Amino acid sequence: MGRSYLILLLQVLASWQAWSWYALRVRDGSDEPWGLLALLALALLLPRGARHPLRSLELGVLAGVNGALVLAWPWLPPLVRTAVCVLCVTAIVSRMTSGRSFHLGTWLLALLSMPVLATVQYYLGYPLRLAAAALAAPMLRTLGLPAVREGVQLVIGSEVILVDVPCSGARMLWVGLFLAVTLACQLRLGAARTLLACVLGMGAILFGNALRVSALTLIEHRQVPCPSWLHEGVGVSSFIPVCLLIAAICLWQHARQRATEAHG
């Protein structure tokens, strides 16, 4: 095991530029430091007591990945470089504690620890707003409002309501995926069931965000006098059932996994 600890130390030291970028992104205000919560969850969920040394094949793969990273370093964006370094360290720690260098839930938690909210908002903000508007329009029509989507706007008669950046649901997406992955790790779901829980959880998140957009559009359309905290209150109220649904999905997958194991 002494050799494994030495390799882990060398991997951490070799990745110092990645850790510098990580710390800078966490402090510069572009990202909320929610990733630290994923790091804490990862540390708490890793097995205790077990010690498994790294195998020769894993050392070879690790050396190959680091060699390729060094060669490609000048052309890779900092986020990709740091993600590779984070996964290398995660693979070593996962092998040492659980005996498996690859565990999907552990790797997903490691990726969620990355300071990526600003990046997600930049690349996925518009598609998320588009999805929210597309789902909210039929919801509003079921309530009797002649809502039509035009881009990321909802048109109700002569009134145009913009689905703005805060309503993209990027934060909701991160928190929902964090909940799904954490529960999957806690329940020891397999890779396929973890992935399925995440996919179904993302569907629940998109639907929940559309409900939030619909509720806020309804309030704005009817010009209901409301306090300043109502926007946040509607967001929390719409996210609670989403969290419960994600938990139910994970528990359902856990029950199916136990049933499969019992019959196997």
pLDDT at 235: 74
Q: Which of 115, 148, 183 is the last residue of a domain?
A: 115
What is the per-residue pLDDT across 94-110, written as a single tens digit (0 to 9) for each?
A: 998 888 888 999 999 99
Q: Are residues 65 and 156 in the same domain?
A: no
Residue 147 sits in the same domain as residue 102? no
pLDDT at 20 over 90: yes
Give yes or no: residues 102 and 127 share one domain. no
pLDDT of residue 244: 96
Are residues 129 and 42 part of one domain?
A: no
Between CA 217 and CA 135 the distance in angstroms is 13
**89 and 21, same structural domain?**
yes
The answer to whether 180 touches 251, Cβ cutoff 8 Å, is no
Decide: 132 and 209 in contact? Cβ < 8 Å.
yes
| pLDDT tens-digit readout, 167-186 | 888 999 999 999 999 999 99
Mean pLDDT of 32-61: 84
- Domain count of the chain? 2
Average pLDDT of the chain, as a whole number: 89
Residue 211 has pLDDT above 90, yes or no: yes
pLDDT of residue 157: 83
The CB-side HSE value for 223 (13 A sphere, CA atoms) comes to: 1
pLDDT at residue 29 in the model: 72
- How far apart are alpha carbons 113 and 5 in whole angstroms? 22
Say how many residues make up the chain.
264
Q: Rounded distance, CA 165 to CA 133, Å?
A: 12
Q: Can you give the pLDDT at residue 112?
A: 95
User: What is the predicted pLDDT for the residue at 60?
Assistant: 92
Specify the higher pLDDT residue, 182 or 26.
182
Judge whether residue 130 has pLDDT over 90.
yes
The answer on 96 and 12 residing in a single domain is yes
Structural domain of residue 108, as residue ranges?
A: 2-115
